[in-house]
Amino acid sequence: MENVTLKINNIEVTVPADYTILQAARSANIDIPTLCYLEGMNKLGSCRLCVVEIKGARALQAACVYPVSEGIEVFTNTPAVRRARKANLELILSNHDRSCLTCSRNRNCELQALSEEFGIEELAFSGENDPKLAIDDSSTSYIRDNNKCVLCRRCVAACDNQVVSVISCINRGFDTTVNTAFEKPVSEVSCIFCGQCINACPTGALTEKPHIPKVLEAIDNPQKHVVVQTAPAVRAALGEEFGLPMGTPVTGKMVTALKLLGFDKVFDTDTAADLTIMEEGTEFIERFTKQENLPLITSCSPGWVKFCEHYFPEFTDNLSSAKSPMEMFGAVIKSYYAEKNNIDKKDIYSVAVMPCTSKKYEAQREEMSSSGTFDIDASLTTRELAKMIKQAGINFVDLPDSEFDDPFGTATGAGVIFGATGGVMEAALRTVYEVLEGKSLENLELAPIRGMDGIKEASLEISGKEVKVAVVHGTKNAKELLNKIKAGEAKYDFIEIMACPGGCVNGGGQPIVSAKKRALVDVRVERAKALYSEDRNSALRKSHENPAIKKLYEEYFEKPCSHKAHELLHTHYTKRSKY
């Protein structure tokens, strides 16, 4: 790619010829405000907050869509630019629900930050009729409040990027809203509840369905034995909510905080991830040996499972029947754990802290009640846990480290890496290889299936047979791969699919990262580093070596994929309509 040289505020900047003015400015550390722009996903120029003055041009231009060219001169802070940006922001605010103090995004809202930056003290405009729009809380996972929507369309771009595309802009002028087809409740369309729209939203128009009130009610009830489990990706991101650098692992502090919040037992979902590998790995060995229902496709991601049910129902038989680690743990807690501790399972309140909004949906699926009641009673996002810690007045950064409780505090590095794309496959292959080969796998870090490529492939020889695997993250990439398989253009034995780009580390329940910061750092990579470092420092790095899992099979399940294991740890799926 050839370069061009332009001037921005009289500073010479040389950049690739396919850059926009916004990209050129950022490469030179020159700040241009944006609202609708989202790096790599949304580039519309609709909010007009990034307008700049170009020498010789008749009008101000949107920097996020205007291409650079040789010799142009750009000015980002002239009186005309400042006036236009402020007026455009005031127009956006004119029809916005400004109840900032009671909004979940208070102090973490891009619109609020821009208002402060632009010195908005009073509004010059008021929206037509100031309409009060209905709030859609029909979903199990999130709430849509169009009164706080600024029509930036970032959520639409996120949904399109997931090739789900259940929302779009409808109507015109002041009647414009982001909505579903025929304005149906989101629960009645083929949304997969991945929450990528929430991560993209700059305001509080999209938020997770709150589970904090019912969790606190359970904690305050002396008759309830409240157990909490935490997913691996949570520890890789929770620290961001308290000012720690992105990618800082905070496992010990997180456990301490949960104990201070009043949970009776704090367990590690990674233990259940090891259990999942034993079940799913055994299932793969059985299918691969018989050459039946291949490729086996992982089922840990409820967003991916729902996507498969709606958009590729012909592949539901290929999904692993093994439940996700969260649901396996829920079933074990209300069966084995309840029996071992002489606790009535009806008195157990099982909470999961997840990086995912779709987990709220998964917890309420009818199939997830093998223990006789819903195996998981509440699913908190990473953001909700942070909110609980702040509300309790806990100084998170200065907390000492604590250990998870027994008997489910022991996990391997294989369980930890579940949170990053490729982690489930890598963990599974560590065990499958050693079970079939009867010897140790020398290199535990499988480079071909790590990283952020959308589709990754690898081939291993196990017991004299070639095993072809693929790893996919983001449902857009899943669609591409599955279409290739349907067309006979690709063939695999084992596939890992995660609904969220980057895997659970970038789940819809993780800390919100502004568009500006997302343009500067790859959130997925930084958070994944925390998980890989924990794996590398783990004493045990293979799921089948976990003593807690060995004991669980010896005392309760007998062996992986036993009759009892199938009753509690496995599930089935539903072929659904797209519409």
- Ranges of H-type helices in 312-454: 325-332, 338-340, 358-363, 382-391, 413-416, 423-437
Other CB atoms closer than 10 Å to residue 122's CB: what's the count?
5
Residue pointed to by tokens 């519409």: 579
Q: What are the CA-CA distances from residue 32 to residues 24, 29, 164, 183 (Å)?
A: 10, 9, 31, 35
Return the structure tokens found at 90.
């005031």
Would you name the residues annotated as active-site residues? 280, 283, 300, 320, 359, 362, 367, 504
Q: Which residues of 39-60 are buried (b: 16+ CB within 10 A; e: fewer)?
A: bebbbbbbbbbbbbbbeeeeeb
Q: Specify the 3-state DSSP secondary structure of 515.
A: helix
The DSSP output letter for 513 is -
Distance CA 426, CA 433 (A): 10
Contacts of 465 (CB under 8 A, 6+ apart): 288
Closest residue by Cα to residue 216 from 389, 38, 3, 11 = 389
Closest residue by Cα to residue 353 from 404, 394, 305, 397 = 404
Closest residue by Cα to residue 359 from 331, 328, 327 = 327
Cα three-residue angle 407-412-418, rounded to 5 degrees = 110
Q: How far apart are the first and last CA of the chain?
A: 43
